[in-house]
Amino acid sequence: MKVSIGSDHHGVGFKAQAATWLQSQGIEVIDVGSHDSDQPCDYPEAAGQVGRLVSRGDADRGILICGSGVGMAITANKFPGVRAAVCDSAPTAQLTREHNGLNVLCLSGTLWRERDLLPVVQAFVETPFAGGRHQRRLDKITEIEQSLGCHTPTP
């Protein structure tokens, strides 16, 4: 599995921790930055890079961290085939992977302690998509994207 990971200045510390854990699990990590928590940066930059990588199929999944996680999710969801959501618990990450095929996990770098977020990342990367009736629903999302002229890559 290949995971692209990015943050703004609010998520630099946790991004590094998550990347280290992912690599310890044999997961390839594409780190798009930021790397300096003292230098403010704009969340759409990292979200755009991760969203593009996942949309093109150059990364299987993505993880984004900003102040609330919401700005990252809004930006990443602009890319065809990206299903990004803010998750604040392992059960939420598991459910969104199983039922919604979540492929970009968005996290708050300021509202949670770093140690509380690693189980969310673990649930996100270890939980498979359930398929079945859930695939039918994702197909409907793809139809909407295509009706808007968006090319949705095949997962």
Q: How many Å separate Cα 140 from the centre of its chain?
A: 21
Q: Which residue in the list 41, 66, 87, 106 is annotated as catalytic?
A: 66
Tokens of 142: 């793809």
Of 58, 57, 66, 59, the closest CA to residue 33 belongs to 66
Q: How far apart are CA 88 and CA 96, in angstroms?
A: 11
The answer to whether 66 is a known catalytic residue is yes
> 104: which DSSP letter?
E
Q: How far apart are CA 121 and CA 155, in angstroms?
A: 20
Residues with catalytic roles? 66, 99
